[in-house]
Structure 1
Amino acid sequence: MLNMGQQKNYIAYLRQSTMKQEISGLGVEAQREIIQNYLKERKPVAEYIETESGRKSDRPKLTEALEVCRKTGSILIVAKLDRLSRNVAFTSKLLESDVEIVFCDFPEANKLVLHIISSIAEYEAGLISQRTKQSLRAKKARGCRLGKSENLLSRLPQAVENSNRTNRQKALDNPNNKRAVALLK
């Protein structure tokens, strides 16, 4: 039980969708700034950062943050509703949970408004998915190889070896190189 005048602690949850956002840090930094502006002089007691799609509900860091909120009676603070989720059912489940959640972009919003905004976020996620798929189809049609850079990096040593072998063979087959070798003998 809280004493009169005692303030609850906040636990920050920050989500980014892609590794690219993780590397740049811009998504997380912007969210951190929004949260800090909302809290003014206070600081969150903990911060959980996750790189995961807003459409997915399997979020280990969010689960951990919610568990800590339950144990400590803290409030989960999120910069924007769409950073928590872009899935109406998942958002609804979270809003019905036993953890108080504050969204910096809609701090006074009631559940009805949050459900409407969540529906818009889910719709937007669908549009983003469609645009991404169209873009990837167009790239593939132009002959670009698609895939994650991690997958390309795993094949890098073999590609370097193949390139070196090809360059070595071209050097051996080059008539000018053959004449130069003959002169040196």
Structure 2
Amino acid sequence: MENCKFVSYLRVSTVRQGTSGLGLEAQRAAVAVFLNGGDWILVQEVLEVESGKSNDRPALATALKLCRKHRATLVIAKLDRLARNVAFISNLMESGVEFVAVDMPQANRFVVHILAAVAEQEAEAT
């Protein structure tokens, strides 16, 4: 991952979440730890306050455009901050934009699908 470019995407569902453990600062810190020590460039940080159930995410669309423009990888703190929907994650995987969840950076496509399915089940249970 030498000389890589990244766009970070930080999302919370509500403003109140911003002060919790899943808040923006916790996500920002996780991304910073992941990127620390490498010869990497953080092109931009993109913030969004939107439900993970919503497929209409303007800030995520902006982050994906930035990734394409700069040939960057989308970096997120946790997969469930991206989405809790298998179809949404699958579509993202087919979009041509690489992404990495810093809580499981070695996860391959198979593992990401399983984790997305678990996150979707958790969302349906709540």
TM-score w.r.t. the length of structure 2 is 0.90
Match of 1:30 in 2: 26
1:12 counterpart (8, 19, 26):
8
**Kept after mapping to 1: 8 A contact 2:14/2:50:** yes
CA distance in 2, matches of 1:25, 1:49: 16
- Greater RCO (CA < 8 Å, at least 6 residues apart): 2
1:47 aligned to 45, 48, 65, which one?
45
Q: 1:36 to 1:6 in 2, by over 3 A?
A: closer
Alignment of 1:74-153 (within 5 A): 74-128=72-126
What residue ranges of structure 1 are gaps of 5+ in the alignment? 129-185
Report % sequence identity. 46
Q: Which has the larger radius of gyration?
A: 1
Q: Distance in 2 between matches of 1:55 and 1:25?
A: 19
Moved over 6 A (4+): none
Alpha-carbon offset, residue 19 of structure 1: 2.2
Larger proportion of strand: 2
Q: Please state whether the residue corresponding to 1:15 is helix, strand or coil.
A: strand
Find the residue that maps to 1:45 and give its secondary structure: strand
What is the Cα-based RMSD across aligned positions, in Å? Answer: 1.7
1:108 positional shift: 1.0
CA–CA separation in structure 2 for the residues paired with 1:61 and 1:97: 16
Contact 2:7 2:72 in 1 (8 A): yes
- Listed one character per residue, the Cα deviations across residues 27-81 of structure 1 (whole Å, up to 9, x for unaligned) are 1000011111111135622001101111111000000000011011011100100
Q: Which residue of 1 aligns with 2:68?
A: 70
Question: Is contact 1:35-1:78 (8 Å) kept?
Answer: yes
Return the alpha-carbon distance in structure 1 between the equivalents of residues 89 and 4 of structure 2: 23
SS at match of 1:47: strand
